[in-house]
Structure 1
Amino acid sequence: MANQFIYNSFQHSYAILGTGALGGYYGACLQKAGLNVNFLLHSDYEYVKKHGLVVESKNGDFTLTQVQAYPEANKMPACDVVILALKTTQNHLLPQMLPHVVKDNGVVLVLQNGLGVEDEVAKIVGAERVMGGLCFLCSNKVAPGHIRHLDYGEIKIGEYAANYQAAGITNRMQQIAADFELAGIKMELAEDLLLARWQKLVWNIPYNGLSVVLDARTDELMSNPDTRSLVEELMWEVVNGAKSCDRIIPQNFVETMLHYTNKMKPYRTSMKIDYDEKRPLEVETMFGNPLRFAQEKGANLPNITMLYQQLKFLDSRNCN
């Protein structure tokens, strides 16, 4: 396990690209644990530079009064680990950002939603410098430099390889996992990143999609028998999509995701927040890419296809 791997964690430097609900929370936890963390901010830059970062968490509130904040990626130091926590709708900016912030022997850890996101990053920095991560986190940014962590927080990470071939568990995965565990973040190491991404979609596709289309929180979707049934149908379609890509999701996984969501505090999904704030939705990476992966293998996912088309319509109308 990662905590049996001996090394000096304080030698690692981190860059956080996207200091929002996710990047801000994990980056703040890493800095609190004593690691060297550099934050890229946009609208919050002046505020955070002056006042720092505030984290309200179920695990204990804390404030970082001093943070290494930057308004532009090309002003940041090159780091060992670059945590990509931007919305995928901003990925067109990555060719200008990533070369400045990742060391020659560094790694980009892609903590973004959906499928195929590592492919985009690999084209910029090379496949050997890319790792993917799936975050099981309920967190919101409630004000400039102010993050509210509601529930969960575990990250599952895996090495990326061309065509999403399973790459096993590496030393650098163990090193990064040990840093996060030092910061109180539960970690899981995945031998197969593609399987892990399909597993995350079992939750993301029904709850993010339906929360927008039906204007509902997770607890509302679960308490109504019709929407709960629809959630489960969508989950099984994701399982079939994974199967078309030769990735088998265990039979009990759907029930586990339903159980976790039943226990979860009432939650407005990240896609619902983006929709309410009239920001572009991550429709392509979270819905379009998985559909294309599965359709190329001959799979038909009718409910996900309909949800994708509905979201495309709502996103287009919302942003005009």
Structure 2
Amino acid sequence: MGDRKYAIIGTGALGGFYGAKLQHAGLDVHFLLKSDYEQVRQHGLIIESKDGDFTLPQVNAYNDADKMPQCDVVIVALKTIQNYLLPQLLPPVIKNNGVVLVLQNGLDIELEIAQIVSNVNIIGGLCFLCSNKVGQGHIRHLDYGHISLGEYSHNYEAEGITNRMQQIANDFQNAGIAIELTEDLLLARWQKLVWNIPYNGLSVVLNARTDELMANSYTRQLVEQLMDEVAAGAKSTGRIIADSFIQKMLDYTVKMKPYRTSMKIDYDEQRPLEVEAIIGNSLRKAQAAGVFLPQINCLYNQLKFLDSRNQR
């Protein structure tokens, strides 16, 4: 096992889960927290998981990035709506020539990171994880959990499998986290959107869990139509998503435990939605290539209305 030092920027349902797994496996992990800081500093992290429950009674908890040590790998697990904070949070924590591992949804996320910090390497991670934060410092892992890792390069040119990716993958695999390495990060991001756009978007617009969307013939048809449009968006950027991949995402969701998506949770809690990173960026990427995605555009406009009204 490597001796890399990890930082978690955003200790929520995703960052808290993966960071806790890494520490539980013996790695040196440092957690940046906000509202949960005092609870976690005093009592640690509680993980309920389908793979086995565990508690970390002591963790390296911080509420100020300037007080954190410089780390070899900084995991960005904030919601993208909080990325305006990254110019203050990232530079103090990342070592020169370190790795920023971006575990966020959407398109062009790594490009934002590259504009904030230089002399670093950026890896994108696509998480297929069903988890919720059920209390301060208390995370419940319901299903799945594997991550696809891809190296970022200028204009998202396919970089292949790098040694950096492999080293980080080894750390995660030693912590019991399934990892897939991808040679093409842009393709992997479009593939994640095959799930994220229909289920996150429709869960808010239709007030429904994933199982409800799949059980009704009309909403299942709508899910499939949106997935086909995501594939058309990917094709506009030179990436091909196979029909078999779309079928795999449908099959995954049918087998998944009833799940309230992260966007639906944010909506119910009256938090801002990640509409731009997940849906807006996808639309703009396709439109720049001359491709219009009408169903996704309709979903985007509905979500922007609901988000705006919810924030009032």
- 2:92 is matched with 100
Letter in 2 for 1:47: Q
- 2:281 is matched with 289
Normalising by the residue count of structure 2, what TM-score does the alignment of the two structures yield?
0.99
Which of 152, 172, 178 pairs up with 1:160?
Answer: 152
1:221-269: CA deviation from partner (whole Å, max 9, x where unpaired): 0000000000000000000000000001112111100000000000000
Which of 114, 136, 140 pairs up with 2:132?
Answer: 140
User: Among the aligned pairs, what percent are the same residue?
Assistant: 71
CA RMSD after TM alignment = 0.8
Which of 82, 89, 113 pairs up with 2:105?
Answer: 113
The 2-side partners of 1:316 and 1:117 are apart by 23
Task: For 1:30-41, list aligned pairs within 5 A.
Answer: 30-41=22-33
Contact 1:239 1:249 in 2 (8 A): yes
- 2:15 is matched with 23
1:67-122: CA deviation from partner (whole Å, max 9, x where unpaired): 00000111111100000000000000101111001000211000001001111000
Letter in 2 for 1:315: D
- 1:175 is matched with 167
The 1-side partners of 2:141 and 2:191 are apart by 23
- 1:5 is matched with none
Partner SS state of residue 265, structure 1: coil
Query: How many aligned positions are there?
Result: 312
Contact 1:128 1:161 in 2 (8 A): no
Contact 1:128 1:160 in 2 (8 A): no
The 2-side partners of 1:276 and 1:228 are apart by 23
The reply to whether residue 318 of structure 1 matches residue 287 of structure 2 is no
Which of 283, 291, 302 pairs up with 2:294?
Answer: 302
The 2-side partners of 1:235 and 1:82 are apart by 32
- 1:73 is matched with 65
Normalising by the residue count of structure 1, what TM-score does the alignment of the two structures yield?
0.97
Contact 1:55 1:148 in 2 (8 A): yes
Residue 126 of structure 1: how far off its partner (Å): 3.0
The 1-side partners of 2:119 and 2:291 are apart by 27
The 1-side partners of 2:169 and 2:162 are apart by 11
Partner SS state of residue 13, structure 2: coil
- 1:44 is matched with 36
The 2-side partners of 1:125 and 1:169 are apart by 23
Contact 1:127 1:161 in 2 (8 A): no
Residue 46 of structure 1: how far off its partner (Å): 0.2
Contact 2:97 2:119 in 1 (8 A): no
Contact 1:53 1:67 in 2 (8 A): yes
- 1:4 is matched with none
Residue 128 of structure 1: how far off its partner (Å): 5.1
The 1-side partners of 2:253 and 2:145 are apart by 14
Letter in 2 for 1:120: E
The 2-side partners of 1:70 and 1:170 are apart by 31
The 1-side partners of 2:100 and 2:229 are apart by 30
Which consecutive residues of structure 1, in runs of 5 or more, have no partner in the other structure? 1-7
Which of 200, 206, 229 pairs up with 1:208?
Answer: 200
Letter in 2 for 1:56: E
The 2-side partners of 1:202 and 1:251 are apart by 11
Single out whichever of 31-40 and 163-172 deviates more from structure 2.
163-172
- Give the ranges of 4+ consecutive aligned residues of structure 1 lying more than 4 Å apart after TM superposition: none
Residue 127 of structure 1: how far off its partner (Å): 7.8
The 2-side partners of 1:127 and 1:58 are apart by 39
The reply to whether residue 248 of structure 1 matches residue 240 of structure 2 is yes
Contact 2:96 2:119 in 1 (8 A): no
The 2-side partners of 1:130 and 1:156 are apart by 14
Letter in 2 for 1:72: D
The 2-side partners of 1:258 and 1:251 are apart by 11
Partner SS state of residue 92, structure 2: helix
The 2-side partners of 1:165 and 1:309 are apart by 31
- 2:187 is matched with 195
Partner SS state of residue 158, structure 1: strand
- 1:268 is matched with 260
